[in-house]
Chain A
């Protein structure tokens, strides 16, 4: 018997939970401003999450998925991407969307049930939030194939969760990405829980990165609570994709400190002790510890930042709440180029009903 293939999975961590460096800093980190920008984006994301949950709890937002504890994944992605790249998110990448120029008001509009929130003024070609698990992966392959066919030096970042890796869409997308060698980077945001299903009941695989092996593409793990490592790894695989090197899969190992969404109560299936343990590894504290120890960050800076983020989010919330809802008939408007007769009749009926006509 001979061995025809073997695989190994690399794991990258630069900043330990204690705030100590355990590997050499990447080049970008030589500039303290770059690290502060990452910290700032994570604080903004956490502030936004808290406000969104409060809005939902007071009846002013729909179901919302917080990214508490996972900010480094989205922010690392957002920092590594170039404006010309395209983000194909799932539903927990608020941090990346904010960094790419989606406004907090737009995000709130979407989560408040207003599709105008997906009509981004900033990144026009980024995809909207995708709630159906794993269904965004084939879309990402299509976008990446378009870049390849057009010979554009652009890449796609597709984010899926750990649960999505059990879905056919994701397996098919990885497979075809490998076959067509498209410039796509799949980030598996492995937060340990697919709603109430823990990872050990999701898969027998030791890592989710090894899902890449069957697709014939590179796969690796990164500490998803280490924003420096996430950005660093993503920059490398994105450069490779843009340069024609093909797709990759990056498993970002993190932890969902929040409920799955506001419609969930994780205390019903998850030990408090487990959650407490993971609070010690969350991404904001370790970067702040590092910055403070290096004299880059002070208590005053922190207070100023919290105020700025709070104000920005409150302004976005006010703008969101002040936005009049669309006329219900608007939902007929973006499905057909020319509205079929039966739908036109329904639209007219709805408009008449809104005017109080029989």
Chain B
């Protein structure tokens, strides 16, 4: 078979729409005779015939969008009627690598490593740079681009949590969870490279709390109060342009410990819900972590993070701010501490708090005012 594939008709175009065929199957055409009009993002262009011959089949209908490199038509394989001398060069480009259909998420972690003698990876310099920055091994990325090229999206998808929110296909869920430690490593490495951390530590006096007080819910309420007092801490910082973008709402990442690694599912729009709603949704997120039904989208886009490590151990900590977030609050193990009260000393139950912030984006004053508001809210009764 002798296929003619859609060439790149502009400069880096991906596809074209068939406007009208000027020929039908069975027609004999000569070199450079107009075959079909197609519309790209830039232009309506006439595609001439690359050779003389009889057309066996048209492979796309008017109105159909055809990817660059996909077959447009098939010429009859012929003997005698072939006009030698007018056919120049090779018509069919090299067989493109089996590419995933566009719009589906590429597989992130192939089961096996590269086969011996495998062809070199095709990737643009920017894609290679990104892969290097994210620690992604290009030979392990399934390419989705034309002719088997690895795209930026492939690299970011392969890197897990750093990618944009994808289409949310469930197929990718298991992969994302299995790569949780990898994601953690990449995120923390990036944070270590970019962020300038500073930490404030203090205690909230929770002596007045009811015994059944929901610590996590109280911490969420306190963070919301902190963000209202000092919105600068609920922001996104772009280290490249050095721009701070305030977030319109609080999407709180809540660190969840798991044998497979660290998961930080996101509680969306904290301000738009109440304590009962938070608790219900947190339980659902934790259950999703346990039964591995969390989607990658559930793990992305936090604007602030809470780490309640004190449920295990630890009082104060210097935490890691994951860009583009600018701060994280940690709650330690509660302890009874002697506090001066009037003329004497009493024991009060204290909740240790650690606020780590990115000093590139946040001033010490802003961080301290935030922490003051958090403490005030935690110390409020009921």
Contact = CB atoms under 8 A, between A and B. Distances in A.
B89 A318 contact: yes
Given A57-B45, A57-B48, A354-B120, 4 more contacts: A57-B47, A314-B86, A356-B118, A356-B119
Interface in A39-77: 50-51, 54, 56-60, 63
A-B residue pairs, 3 tightest by C-beta: A59-B7, A265-B43, A321-B89
Nearest to A58: B50
A264 interface: yes
A60 B42 contact: no
A50 B34 CA distance: 12
Interface in A338-358: 353-354, 356
Interface residues of B, number: 29
A50 B50 CA distance: 13
A8 B120 CA distance: 64
A84 interface: no
Interface stretch (B8-16, B56-64, B188-196): B8-16
**Which of B9, B90, B93 gathers the greatest number of chain A CB atoms within 10 Å?**
B9
**Which of A58, A259, A354 gathers the greatest number of chain B CB atoms within 10 Å?**
A58
Interface of B: 4-11, 31-32, 42-50, 85-86, 88-90, 93, 117-120
Interface of B is mostly: loop
**Which of B31, B44, B89 gathers the greatest number of chain A CB atoms within 10 Å?**
B89
Given A259-B43, A264-B43, A57 B9 contact: yes
Interface in A264-298: 264-265, 267-268
Contacts of A265: 42-45
Contacts of A314: 85-86, 88
B45 A267 contact: no
Contacts of B46: 57
A259 B46 CA distance: 12
Contacts of B8: 59
Contact of A321 (B5, B88, B119): B88
Interface string A253-271: 0000001001111011000
B289 to A, nearest CB: 38
B29 to A, nearest CB: 12
B138 to A, nearest CB: 11
A41 B255 CA distance: 75
**Which of B46, B88, B89, B93 gathers the greatest number of chain A CB atoms within 10 Å?**
B88
B48 A58 contact: yes
Contacts of A22: none
Given A50-B32, A58-B48, A322 B89 contact: yes
A14 interface: no
Interface of A: 50-51, 54, 56-60, 63, 259, 262-265, 267-268, 314, 317-318, 321-322, 353-354, 356
A262 B120 CA distance: 31
Contacts of A259: 43
Contacts of A354: 120
Contacts of A263: 9-11, 42-43
A58 B42 contact: no
**Which of A51, A57, A60 gathers the greatest number of chain B CB atoms within 10 Å?**
A57
A321 B8 CA distance: 17
B134 to A, nearest CB: 20
Contacts of B50: 58-60
Contact of A59 (B5, B11, B42): B5
30 contacts: A50-B32, A54-B48, A57-B7, A57-B45, A57-B46, A57-B48, A58-B4, A58-B50, A59-B5, A59-B50, A59-B93, A60-B7, A60-B50, A60-B89, A63-B11, A263-B9, A263-B10, A263-B43, A264-B43, A265-B42, A265-B43, A265-B44, A265-B45, A267-B44, A314-B85, A317-B88, A318-B88, A321-B88, A321-B90, A356-B118
B160 to A, nearest CB: 24
A266 to B, nearest CB: 9
A58 B46 CA distance: 10
A314 B118 CA distance: 38
B338 to A, nearest CB: 63
A51 B88 CA distance: 12
B253 to A, nearest CB: 38
Contacts of A57: 7, 9, 45-48
Nearest to B90: A321
B4 to A, nearest CB: 8
A264 B45 CA distance: 9
Contacts of A262: 9-10, 45
Contacts of B93: 59
**Which of B10, B85, B86 gathers the greatest number of chain A CB atoms within 10 Å?**
B10
A259 B42 CA distance: 12
B112 to A, nearest CB: 16
Given A60-B50, A265-B42, A265-B44, A54 B89 contact: no
Contacts of B118: 356
A51 B89 CA distance: 14
B48 A268 contact: no
B236 to A, nearest CB: 35
Nearest to A61: B7
B48 to A, nearest CB: 5
A314 to B, nearest CB: 7
B238 to A, nearest CB: 30
A58 B7 CA distance: 6
A268 to B, nearest CB: 7
B89 A356 contact: no
Nearest to A322: B89
Contacts of B42: 263-265
Contacts of B49: 58
A207 B319 CA distance: 69
Nearest to B117: A356
A54 B46 CA distance: 9
**Which of B6, B48, B85 gathers the greatest number of chain A CB atoms within 10 Å?**
B48
Contacts of A54: 31-32, 48
Contact of A356 (B7, B85, B120): B120
A356 B115 CA distance: 12
A60 B47 CA distance: 12
A71 B5 CA distance: 32
Contact of A51 (B6, B32, B90): B32
A195 to B, nearest CB: 12
A332 to B, nearest CB: 14
A60 B87 CA distance: 13
